[in-house]
Every structure is written in structure tokens, then in C-alpha cells.
A and B are shown apart, each in its own frame.
Chain A
């Protein structure tokens, strides 16, 4: 199985090579055989004797990350959709994409996607699933941005990436949490231990994380906004990724995990609400669109919402209907996208306001569209698969069982009405799409090209899909008996057998709902112009898109404001923030750990000379602040330095005293050299508040250091290691000046690198001075 998943990815590496010959042979013609082969490989598994298959290949076993492929009924349904529709889409693209386009890129992305999507639905390992999941987002990003010279493509690509990767990361968090809770990375093992997960207090969080992933990917309200913008992608991509496969990954995820969370009441509440709201909102919005693909995008969103809602219901009937509709939606929506692409290709526009009357020019395309739209609308005709699943949907909304909490009970009451509402608008936009494009008057003057029927090759793929629509409609039990039943069983956990009939009798409530839909829908279609103004009122100016644009805009603007606020470039501000942070946190820690101690025993006596020196140093240190002349300040700091070296002398550190003396002298000379010619110090005319802050920080910091110093000095718990140095200095080190022996022997490494530091400093100074004057070289 690993080969079927990775083959598209591996072969993608050869595409740039193949695409070199694109003028001899369209790259797509070669690629076509890849999904076709995968399709035929998997088709062998259909049958009543199907048992789940598992193949495992190690990847990072020590982290529990393995290519653990698991093929059950649900995966099989998706795998066949991915490869089957994939093959048709590639075939369609051969006629849709001109050879002057960068075909290599297109097919590389497409194959990347195919691998990723197969990986998503076959992986049993959550982290591998996540890996493929992100890869689908990435390839989708690249495909939407395929015509990246268009501003709208770039916008759409970024939007889809931000939203889907946001969801992906959230899902990743959920997976990590689940794997921590359950101690496994395998979904099937998690399902087996569902009770452990359900008992964990963090389960709701994990569920929330995962649902966020599913909702963003499957474009559920309010994350649906990326899908309409994703229509900037070439139409084959829209048909494939953004209608038949990738957007269904979220459904797949919810279906997969419903075995774990299904019994949790909030799972029902959240998923149903998300689904039903999406269904209603998107179908309502679809009627308002003018771009053919936008109508289809909103239609896809609403259909995804419907399936999502059914997965949320989680009843036998609902699960069965959901799975069935995944298949049906792929067939009719895939064909409709191709129809829209064909219309665009042959007329040069997708604007429904400019189209109309194309029936006479493109009769075959129109026929295909007729089947697609009628199936989508759920018109009760025995050869349309859409009707069956719509009817099953209505049935499932009616047999929901009462929940414990008030919300669930309320939901159960209103869901049937919302379902009818959403379906009415589905009916309306389906007919609007059909008649707006093919019916009415032609407006040839508004079209870029003179329309004519598409080449036969372009009609093959949608034709095959429409054939699927009809065949499933005529013989629903052919697929339902084994294929769909297996898929539903994988979601529900027990075998589901469902006999799907066309005719349930006039008294069937679901059929009555269908009749209401058709009746009211027809009424709304005919009077569309009269009530179209409602969109000005609702949603009017409300739009989730605006929220997204505002967030993205503000994200940049606010981050700029924040950053320029504190990244002022002013050293003083930087220092002030750094110092105050250290001050506050360290004081906090001292208080929290009761760190301060003071011990007046074991102190050296205070002598007059020392005190004098100390006072001189203090005086000169403070003097540096008030000195106004360069010369003065340099000399004052010199005094402080000499004072320190005097202290060293008093405290029995002759080597230090000497070194300090030399260093101080040289430093003062250097100071004079560099700053004698510079402008004099100015009065400190900083505002009072700045000066006060400076004062507080500096005094506070000094005090802190003193306090820590006193405490450290008062807490000498151990003998120092110096006694050893005193003992061994002569016998081992061979010198009587212990400090020198330490420096050159015990800590010789320090000294070596101290000299290195000096050396680098010297070289750096040389470079600094010389580089300016040396104008040689380039």
C-alpha cells in the first residue's frame, strides 16, 4: 500500500523531465495513467468479502511514528474517489490547460496532492496522518497560486493556507493530546480504548482541537471563507481538490473519530450545529453569487455542511446517508465544476450575468449540466442519485433521539426545519446555475469568444461522472449493498444495512419534505428578482471575509505598532527595560525564596584609611555623573580606578593593585586620546520623568547587587577550594606567588584565552582604524 501512496510523489520528481516534451505530448496524457492505475489497484477490494487490511512500515519507531496504513470501508471509499476523480480530472485538464502554461508545475503539485490525500485517508498513525494533512494544504496553496501573477490568486492562496494550516496545527495539538492520554499513536487502538479517552478531563480540549482542524479543512462556517477564494485555481483543481476530495478530508476526520467521541453529547451538539448552520448559510449565499465557480463553491460548502451535520447526528441512518452523499456529491459536483470550466473555456467568462442561452451552442454540455444540477437539487426522479441521499438526510433529521441537555433537545426540534430551509435554497441555486447559463437569451456581445461546443475530450470526464449519477440513481443497491455499507460500518462501528428505495409512498415524511422543497424552491426561482434585494439587508455589510481581512490587516498593523513602540532603537530604553526586568524578577525571587541573610560575625574590622579610600571612590563615582567637561570626567574616573587599586593593595592583593594601576593609567591615556577632540559633555537636560526612572533603576539595581552580595557573603557554607592551591602552589606548581601559579598553571586555560581576547581586541581596533583609511581593493 505504501507504494500506491508514494508513487504519485515519486513520479512527481520525473514530471519536470516529462514536461520538457510538452509540445510533443501533453504532460497530462502521461500523468493520466498514474491515478488510473491506482484506481484499478483499489477496485479489487470492493466486494462483500472485504476485510480491513493493515500494512506497517517503520519510519520513526522510537517516537511511535510509522507508516501504518489501514484500509477499511471508509478509506476505500475515499481512495477510490481520490484516484477515480483524479484520473478524470487529469484527463479533463489535458484539454483545459494550454501547452504554453507551465504544465510541469501543475502536475507536480497535483501528484503531490494525490499522494498526500491518499496518505490522509490511509494512515492509521495520527502523526503520519497529520503529515499528509499539511501536505494537502501545501499543495492546495500551490495550486491556488498557480496563476500567481494574478493578485487574486495570491490572496486566495494565502488565505487558504493560513486557515487550513491554522486548523492543521490545532489538529496536531489534538493528536498530541490524544496520544498522551491514550499512550498510542494508532487511531484504531485509540478507538479500542475510547473509554480511557472519554474519561480523561482533557478530552473536550482534544475534541475541540481536532474539530477545529476538520472544520477549517471542510470549510465549515465561519472558516468557509477560504473556499470561494480558492476558486482562483484552474478549474480542474477546483473540481478535484475543492469539491471532491481535499475539502472532504475534514469529513473523513470527523467520521474517523466519531467512533471515539460519538457518545459524547457535545460532539453531537457542536458538529450538528456547525454542519446545519453551514448548510443554510452557504446555500443562502450561493444564490447571490454571479461567478459560476463561486456558486459552485458555496454549493460545495453547503453540501459539506449537510454531510457534517449528518456525521454529527451519528445515528445509523445519518451515518449511512452521510457516507452515501460523500460519493454522490463527488459525482454531480465534479461534473458541474467541469461544466463550469468548459463554459469558461469556450466563452471566456464565468460571469452568469453575461451568460445565458448557451443551450443552443453547447447542447451536450447543457445536458450534462442538467443532470448534475437536478441531482444536486434533489429533484425526485429515479435516475438521480442526489435525490436518494437528500431523502435519507431528511429521514435522518426526523429520527434523532432526545438528548439529556436542553441544547440537544432544542436542536433535535429545529434541525428538520433548518434542513428544509437549506434544501430549498439548494434547489434555488441549482436551477439558477442551470438556467442562468444555458437558458434565457444569449448575450453574444458580452462574451469574449463566440461560444461553440467543447471538444469531445473535454466532455468525456464530466460525461463519465454524469453516467455515475444516473447509474447510482437507477441501481442504488449496487453500491449500497457492499461498498457504502462497508464505509458506513467503519464509521458507525456496527454493520449497517439499508435498503434504499426510490418510492416510499406519499405519506413518507421525508418525501413530503422533498415536495415542500421543490414547491417552495420553484416559487423562489421564478420570483428571484423580486426578493433578491434581501441580500442588501442580510447579510448586507456583515461578512466573515471582512473579519479575516481585518484580522490580517490588523495583525500587520498592530505588530508594527507594538514593535516600533518598544524597538525604538534607543539604547537607553533598551537598557532601562532590560535592567528593570532583571531587577523586578530577581527581587521577586529573593522574596519568594526568602533569600536575604546577613551575618555580622566574621567581618574584618573597619579602619580609617579604608574608609577614606571608600569615600573617595564613592565621591568620584558620583562625580562622574555631574562632571561637565570631558577632561574632568576622565580624570575623575581615573581617581576611582586608582582608589580601587589602593583597595586591592590594602586587601592583600598586590598583583591586582599593580595590574589595576597599569591598566588605569593606560585607559586614562586612551580616553584622553579619543575624546579630547570631541564635543564637550552637555548638561543633562532629559525630562524629569526620565531622570527619575534612571535614578530608581540605578539605585535599585545597586541596592539589589549589594543585598545579594551581603547574603552571599553571609552564606559561606563551604570551605573554598583555595586551600588546595595554597598547599600545592609550591610543590606541584613550582612558584611561591600563588595567584601567578593559579593563572599560569591551574587556570592556564583562562589566561590563554584572556590573551586571545586581548589579541582579538587589538586586531579589531587595528581593523576599525585602518579600514577607513585604506581605500585599496574593492
Chain B
């Protein structure tokens, strides 16, 4: 049964390799993609079910016992994230044929797509910090390939910046892992946690922890490290933006959750306190960014930043409710961001431009798109009964119980401005007079995946009773690192 843990990494890897052999047979490639992604989704679903019912799955690769070999740890948090990843990946797979020109699809889009999933799932599942670096590289390399796909001027230009900044953070990652190895003599995360606890995170360890935090923070696009993000996420094709927006930054924030709930938890007064400030600043500057532009894709891209801020806020407060809130928000944001990127991509396609100053009155031709956007805005801003609300409620209560009031006020205000930034698109782009010369284009195929994701998102809010107990159990599990350490080292 323990091999189940590695399947969500292996299946997309194999799928990617297979699809690389006949990239020109598009019909076949598309069909196979759907088969593989749905298969993987089923596997991820099954393993999630298994983990929630029978406990974490620990796979010692090559049969080398922990802490010596690389350990794959499918715990509740990991499988939930892998499952969410696959859900939105499936939506993207169904959206892609409508949105990408055939030519780009032929140039190994689906192979890169699957490699990206491989890297993301691997990062969620691995229990080894150097292996985490390797998976980071897999997903980054796949993202480099995707971001330059097509090679327009703009794309090339933004991707150069993207690659350099990520390359720097990768090298910092290697170095920080080295430093960690120098002090605690191991790269197995459970053992690192154990040893850091033994020496009470003394001396240089906190500084090393902060270096790691920055490595992840660059990927997560936190203040003030997100400069590379909005543009490079807004320029590629909507499918690619959706994959990036929903997955890449989330891998960064996942790593922060993991490392700062498992390893560096003995100087919370310093580290986690700083996180709250960074979270607050991310919320402020993120929404300021979202309000600054008329480019609807950029609006969504900027909205990633406050969302990551919300999640970090929960880690910073670090109590049961706040961590539950952070995880709930993480899941919620993965889905709604994917949905929004796809939706806004569709709107830009329908309108023929992504410049908000150049279109209006779309609702006369695309009422459905308009209402999707309208609902998405409320989902994103965390207006009840939608999914963002549940996460925000938990974060708020956790934070208030800890008497952290300033960040609560920032969070509430930024929610308002998030809503405003989306409603701006609705009011200016969809409302208005009918333009009789406008010729609508068909968008049916593109809306179906958006609807599916949005429906799921709505369900996450209204049906919170079905999800919340799992999230609560995850946060209880995270707050006691002994759970993880024992499962890996003594299981």
C-alpha cells in the first residue's frame, strides 16, 4: 500500500514522457492527457481517502530506512494539496485545447504540463529537504519551459526576469540546505526537526531558518519579494497563468507551512511575529497593485499576493484556529485563483483585449461570463457563504484570540479592496451600453472548466461542514510535530 504515496508523482512523470514521443498527433495527445489526468485525480482522491481514514503513508524509497534514504510522506496536508492540485490541473487540461493555439500544443505543452504536476506533487509529498529542492527544480524547469512557450517578445522578456530571480533563490536554497546539514548533519526533515528540537533551535539555526523562509517566500511571492510575479504570470496563455497562479506560489507557501510548523518552531516569538508583519504588508501592497492597473489579467495576478498574505498570517499566529484558517484559505485560493485566471483569460479573449479601458457592456453578449465573474469576486473577497469566508473567519478568530488586532483590520480592509478590484472589472467591463457592432465569439468550451472550479469553490463554502473537520485535523496534526517525526522515524 505504501507505494500509493508515490503514484501521484510517477503517473504524471510517465504521462509526460509518453506524450513527448508523438507531440504532433494532437487528437491523441489531448485524449491521453485527459485520461492520464483523470486517472491521476482518481489516484490522488483514493490516497487522500486512505490517508484520512488510515493515517499517513510513509514510503522509504529504495527500501532505505528513514532517515537515510529519501522518504515520501503522504500525510493529510500533502494528500489534500495533491488532490486539489489534480482537480485544478484537470480543469486546465480541459481548458487548454480551446485556449492554446495548436502550434503551442504541439510543442510539448502537455509534456511540460505533466512535468509541472510531477514537480508540484513531489514537493508536496517529499520528506527530505534536498529532495524538496530537486522537486522545486523540476517544477521550475517545467515552468520556464511553459512561460517561454511560443516565444513572443513580451514572454521572453518577462521570462528572463522570472528565471533569474528563481535561479537565485534556488542557489540560496542549496546553500541553506548545506548550512542546515552542517549543523544538524542530516537532510531528512523529520530528523532535522528532532535535532533542532534537541538543541532548542539555538545559535545560527534561526538565521538559517530565515534564509529558508526567504527562499520559499520568493516562490510564494510574499512582500517584498514578489516583483517578478505579476507580470510573468499575466503574460502567458491563461492556462499557464492558471497553473502558475494556483500552484507555484502555493508550493512556496506550503513549504513555509511545513518547515515552520515542523522544524523552526522554537523561536516563534521572533520568526512567526515577523511573518505576521510580512503578511500584513503583503495584503496591503498586493491590493494596491491590484488597484493600480487596468489590465484584467494583472488584476488577478496581483490578487495572488494578498491571498498568500492571508495564509502566512495564519502561520504567523500559529494557533489551532489560525492554522486551520490558513489551510482552508490555501485550498480555497488554489481553486479560485485557477478559476479566475481561466475566467479572465476567457473574458480577455471574448473582449479581444485585456485592457479594461477598451471594452464595456459585455453582459449583453456574455451574461454568463459576467455572472461567473460576479460570483468569483465575492468568493475571492471571502464574502459568505463562499469558501474564502470560512478561511477568513478562522483566521480572524485565531488572530483575535491571540490579541493581534492590527492585522485583522488590515485583512478586513484588504478584503474590501480585493472585492473592489474585481467588481471594477464587472462594472466597467460588463455593465454599460450595448455595442451593436460587437461580434461575439463562442466561449462555451472555455467556460465549462471555470464553472466546475467555481462550483467546487462554492461548495467549499456552503458545504464547509464536510471539509472543515479534515482541515481541523490537519492543523491539530501540524501543531504537534511529534506526529510527523514519529510517523517517519519510528513508523
- In the complex, the answer to whether B227 meets A577 with C-beta atoms within 8 Å is yes
- Across the two chains, which residue of chain B brings its CB closest to A585? B210
Q: Which residues of A contact B138 (CB under 8 A)?
A: 753, 756-757, 760
Q: Which residues of B contact A577 (CB under 8 A)?
A: 224, 227
Question: Which one of B49-57, B66-74, B82-90, B344-352 is at the interface?
Answer: B66-74
- In the complex, the answer to whether B182 meets A750 with C-beta atoms within 8 Å is no
CB-defined interface of A249-268 with B at 8 Å, one 1/0 digit per residue? 00000000000000000000
Q: Which residues of A contact B182 (CB under 8 A)?
A: 709, 712-713, 715-716
- Across the two chains, which residue of chain B brings its CB closest to A591? B207
- In the complex, the answer to whether B207 meets A578 with C-beta atoms within 8 Å is no
Kindly identify, within residues 48 to 89 of chain A, every residue whose CB is under 8 Å from any CB belonging to chain B: 58-63, 65
Q: Which of the residues A162, A716, A746, A753 comes within 8 Å of B135, measured between beta carbons? A: A753
- In the complex, the answer to whether B142 meets A760 with C-beta atoms within 8 Å is yes
- In the complex, the answer to whether B107 meets A771 with C-beta atoms within 8 Å is yes
Q: How far is the CA of A439 from the CA of B197 in the complex (A)?
A: 86
- In the complex, the answer to whether B184 meets A717 with C-beta atoms within 8 Å is yes
Q: Which of the residues B141, B183, B214, B363 comes within 8 Å of A582, measured between beta carbons? A: B214
- In the complex, the answer to whether B468 meets A62 with C-beta atoms within 8 Å is yes
Q: Which of A176, A202, A725, A761 has the most CB of B within 10 A?
A: A176
Q: Is A317 an interface residue (CB 8 A)?
A: no
Q: How far is the CA of A593 from the CA of B205 in the complex (A)?
A: 9
CB-defined interface of A573-594 with B at 8 Å, one 1/0 digit per residue? 1110110011001100110111
Q: Which residues of A contact B440 (CB under 8 A)?
A: none
Q: Which of A61, A169, A569, A721 has the most CB of B within 10 A?
A: A169
Q: Is A560 an interface residue (CB 8 A)?
A: yes
Q: Which residues of A contact B69 (CB under 8 A)?
A: 746-747
**Contact status of A750 and B292, CB under 8 A, knowing A595-B204, A713-B182, A757-B137:** no
Q: Which residues of A contact B185 (CB under 8 A)?
A: 716-722
Q: Which residues of B contact A560 (CB under 8 A)?
A: 291-293
- In the complex, the answer to whether B270 meets A768 with C-beta atoms within 8 Å is no
Q: Which residues of B contact A593 (CB under 8 A)?
A: 202-203, 206-207, 267, 270
Q: Is B396 an interface residue (CB 8 A)?
A: yes
Q: How far is the CA of A139 from the CA of B216 in the complex (A)?
A: 41
- In the complex, the answer to whether B203 meets A574 with C-beta atoms within 8 Å is no
Q: Is A777 an interface residue (CB 8 A)?
A: yes
Q: Which residues of B contact A720 (CB under 8 A)?
A: 181, 185-186
Q: How far is the CA of A371 from the CA of B167 in the complex (A)?
A: 77
- In the complex, the answer to whether A59 meets B150 with C-beta atoms within 8 Å is no
Q: Is A18 an interface residue (CB 8 A)?
A: no
- In the complex, the answer to whether A567 meets B227 with C-beta atoms within 8 Å is yes
Q: Is B28 an interface residue (CB 8 A)?
A: no
CB-defined interface of A151-168 with B at 8 Å, one 1/0 digit per residue? 000100110011001100
Q: How far is the CA of A300 from the CA of B390 in the complex (A)?
A: 35
CB-defined interface of A719-760 with B at 8 Å, one 1/0 digit per residue? 111101100100000000000000001111110011011001
Q: Is B432 an interface residue (CB 8 A)?
A: yes
Question: Which applies to chain B's interface (DSSP): helix, strand, loop or mixed?
Answer: helix
Question: Which one of A127-135, A378-386, A488-496, A535-543 is at the interface?
Answer: A127-135
- Across the two chains, which residue of chain A brings its CB closest to B133? A750
Question: Which applies to chain A's interface (DSSP): helix, strand, loop or mixed?
Answer: helix
Q: Is B230 an interface residue (CB 8 A)?
A: yes
Q: How far is the CA of A578 from the CA of B215 in the complex (A)?
A: 11
- In the complex, the answer to whether A173 meets B468 with C-beta atoms within 8 Å is no
Q: Is A44 an interface residue (CB 8 A)?
A: no
Q: Is A43 an interface residue (CB 8 A)?
A: no
- Across the two chains, which residue of chain B brings its CB closest to A586? B210
- In the complex, the answer to whether B203 meets A165 with C-beta atoms within 8 Å is no
- In the complex, the answer to whether B188 meets A721 with C-beta atoms within 8 Å is yes
Q: Which residues of B contact A703 (CB under 8 A)?
A: none
**Contact status of A578 and B183, CB under 8 A, knowing A131-B385, A756-B138, A763-B108:** no
Q: Which of the residues B204, B274, B423, B464 comes within 8 Å of A715, measured between beta carbons? A: B204
Q: Is B477 an interface residue (CB 8 A)?
A: no
Q: Which of the residues A170, A566, A724, A772 comes within 8 Å of B68, measured between beta carbons? A: A724
- In the complex, the answer to whether A63 meets B13 with C-beta atoms within 8 Å is no
**Contact status of A771 and B151, CB under 8 A, knowing A577-B224, A586-B207, A712-B208:** yes
- In the complex, the answer to whether B107 meets A767 with C-beta atoms within 8 Å is yes
Q: Is A138 an interface residue (CB 8 A)?
A: yes
- In the complex, the answer to whether B203 meets A63 with C-beta atoms within 8 Å is no
**Contact status of A748 and B61, CB under 8 A, knowing A718-B185, A767-B145, A770-B107:** yes
Q: Is B401 an interface residue (CB 8 A)?
A: yes
- In the complex, the answer to whether B416 meets A166 with C-beta atoms within 8 Å is yes
* Interface range, B side: 35 or more
- In the complex, the answer to whether A760 meets B112 with C-beta atoms within 8 Å is yes
- In the complex, the answer to whether B186 meets A173 with C-beta atoms within 8 Å is no
Q: Is A180 an interface residue (CB 8 A)?
A: yes
Kindly identify, within residues 369 to 414 of chain A, every residue whose CB is under 8 Å from any CB belonging to chain B: none
- Across the two chains, which residue of chain A brings its CB closest to B218? A578
Q: Is B383 an interface residue (CB 8 A)?
A: yes
Q: Which residues of A contact B62 (CB under 8 A)?
A: 745-746, 748-749
- In the complex, the answer to whether B149 meets A767 with C-beta atoms within 8 Å is yes
**Contact status of A718 and B186, CB under 8 A, knowing A162-B416, A563-B288, A753-B138:** yes
Q: Is B131 an interface residue (CB 8 A)?
A: yes
Kindly identify, within residues 281 to 306 of chain A, every residue whose CB is under 8 Å from any CB belonging to chain B: none
Q: Is B64 an interface residue (CB 8 A)?
A: yes
Q: Is A571 an interface residue (CB 8 A)?
A: yes
Q: How far is the CA of A563 from the CA of B223 in the complex (A)?
A: 13
Q: How far is the CA of A244 from the CA of B361 in the complex (A)?
A: 32
**Contact status of A161 and B423, CB under 8 A, knowing A149-B433, A747-B131:** yes
**Contact status of A145 and B224, CB under 8 A, knowing A127-B384, A718-B184:** no
Kindly identify, within residues 365 to 409 of chain B, every residue whose CB is under 8 Å from any CB belonging to chain A: 378, 383-385, 389-390, 393-394, 396-397, 400-401, 403, 405, 408-409
Min CB gap A428→B, angstroms: 37
Q: Which residues of B contact A158 (CB under 8 A)?
A: 423, 427
Min CB gap A745→B, angstroms: 5
Q: Is B419 an interface residue (CB 8 A)?
A: yes
Q: How far is the CA of A745 from the CA of B65 in the complex (A)?
A: 12
- In the complex, the answer to whether A589 meets B199 with C-beta atoms within 8 Å is no
Min CB gap B191→A, angstroms: 7
- Across the two chains, which residue of chain B brings its CB closest to A176? B396
- In the complex, the answer to whether B204 meets A718 with C-beta atoms within 8 Å is no
Q: Which residues of B contact A60 (CB under 8 A)?
A: 390, 464-465, 468
Q: How far is the CA of A703 from the CA of B413 in the complex (A)?
A: 40
CB-defined interface of A533-573 with B at 8 Å, one 1/0 digit per residue? 00000000000000000000001101110111011010101
Q: Which residues of B contact A157 (CB under 8 A)?
A: 427
* 22 examples of A-B residue contacts, CB within 8 angstroms: A62-B468, A154-B428, A157-B427, A165-B383, A578-B165, A578-B168, A586-B210, A589-B270, A597-B204, A717-B183, A718-B186, A728-B68, A746-B70, A749-B72, A749-B131, A754-B134, A756-B13, A763-B111, A767-B148, A767-B149, A771-B151, A776-B103
- Please name the 6 residue pairs, one residue from A and one from B, whose CB atoms are nearest each other, closest first: A720-B185, A764-B145, A563-B292, A148-B431, A711-B204, A131-B384
Tell me the A residues contacting B by CB distance below 8 Å: 58-63, 65, 127, 130-131, 134, 138, 145, 148-149, 154, 157-158, 161-162, 165-166, 169-170, 172-173, 176-177, 179-180, 202, 205, 555-556, 558-560, 562-564, 566-567, 569, 571, 573-575, 577-578, 581-582, 585-586, 589-590, 592-597, 705, 708-709, 711-713, 715-722, 724-725, 728, 745-750, 753-754, 756-757, 760-761, 763-764, 767-768, 770-772, 774, 776-778
Q: A593-B206, A749-B126 are in contact. List 4 more A-B contacts (CB 8 A).
A: A560-B293, A749-B134, A760-B112, A761-B141
